Amino acid sequence: MTLYTDALIGWRGYFLPRLLPLGEVKATLLLGAIWALWHLPLLLAGLNYPGVNIWLALLVFGFTTVAISFAYTWFYVAAGGSVLIAAVLHASFSNFADRFWVPPILSGANQFTASLIGGVLMLALVVIVYGLFNRPVRV
């Protein structure tokens, strides 16, 4: 297994079910914050947002990670606790971000701007989806 699949199994397969008794929103916020901290070494090394102020990079990456965590939790719960859905979603998101949000396709954009835009869009989607589809958590 790779570090990638180990992390997904750890976050969604082990940690999330233990946090869900707190409520879906609280569990997702906490898991998203921990997931952001998991990526801290990459941010400090400058691998995610090269040339961006580290504090701004930490803020935007943390915001984006927490926002995208809601999608992971939503689909995880909807799929009855399937880690596979989280893996597919993560791979799809990463592939989309790598292929679409970076130049030359979206001219003038960079990874930092794309992450910020993606986080804002995801937060808007979270507000809409969680506002419209309030459902009991059964995992």
The answer to the question of residue 79 being in a domain is: yes
Please give the residue range of the domain that contains residue 9.
3-132
The answer to the question of residue 137 being in a domain is: no
Element spanning 66, H or E: helix 54-78
For tokens 């960079």, name the residue.
110
For tokens 């399937």, name the residue.
82
The 8-class DSSP code of residue 14 comes to I
Q: How many domains does the chain have?
A: 1
Q: Which residues, 6 or more positions from 8, have their beta carbon under 8 angstroms from its beta carbon?
A: 83, 86, 87, 90
- pLDDT at position 64 is 84
The answer to the question of residue 103 being in a domain is: yes
The answer to the question of residue 62 being in a domain is: yes
pLDDT digits (tens), the chain, 139 positions? 455 555 667 778 888 999 999 988 899 999 999 988 888 888 888 777 777 788 888 888 888 888 888 888 888 888 888 888 888 887 777 776 666 655 544 445 566 676 777 778 877 877 777 777 666 555 5
The answer to the question of residue 138 being in a domain is: no
The answer to the question of residue 43 being in a domain is: yes
- pLDDT at position 56 is 82
